Amino acid sequence: MVPVQVPALLARLKRHLYPDGRPSALARAANAVIARQHALGILTPRSSVTLVVTGRRSGRPVALPLVVASVDGAQFVVSMLGEQAGWVHNVRAAGGRAVLLQHRRRVPVHLVEVPPGQRAPVLRAYLAVAPGARPHIPVDRHAPLAELERVAADHPVFQVHRAG
C-alpha cells in the first residue's frame, strides 16, 4: 500500500473546500467556527485574527479568519484566494476603513493595499506563518523572491494600520 503524499492530500482538500476559488458551504461553516475561535484567542497563535468588515451588498458585518504576517515590524493580511475573495471586495468598497481585527479584543484598523511590486517579501512571511494558505498560492514558501513576484499580483496584500 502506497501512503498518500501530504501535498496531494492538501490539494484534494483545497479542491473540495474551495472549488473555483470560492469557499464551499463546508468551508464557510468551518470559517465561521475558526473566526470565532480566532476572535476569542482560544488555542490560536497571536498571528491568527478575525477580520470584521461590512459586506458591500448586505450591509451586515462579515467575519472571517485570517493570519497576520509581519515584515520589518509592519503587519499585513493576505488574500490566499486571490482577487476574487469577498473580503477583498468588501475592504476595497469600505476604502480600507471601518475594519476590525479581533484576537481577544477588537481593534479598529485601516487596511492599505500594497502595490504588487512590493508584495513578494510579505507573501514569503505569510507562507511561513499560514500553512493553510500554502495549497492556494502556487509557489513554494522557500522559493526565491523572483518566483513570489510572479504571483504577487494575483494575491492582494493589505498593510494593517491602527485606526485613530
How is the chain split into domains, by residue range?
6-162
Q: Can you read off the three cell numbers belonging to residue 137?
A: 498560492
Q: Once rounded to an integer, what is the mean pLDDT over residues 89-113?
A: 95
The model's pTM: 0.85
Task: Output the pLDDT for position 7.
Answer: 64
What class has domain 6-162?
mainly beta
As a dihedral over the C-alpha atoms of residue 120, residue 35, residue 28, residue 17, rounded to 10 degrees, the angle is: 50
What is the structure's pLDDT at 16?
76
Report the percentage of the chain scoring pLDDT > 90: 64
pLDDT band at 63 (very low <50, low <70, confident <90, very high): very high
- C-beta neighbour count of 96 within 10 angstroms: 19
> What pLDDT digit, counting tens, does each position of 15-55 carry?
778 877 778 898 888 888 888 887 888 778 889 999 999 99
3-state secondary structure of 58: coil
Query: Residue 102 is placed in which grid cell?
Result: 479581533
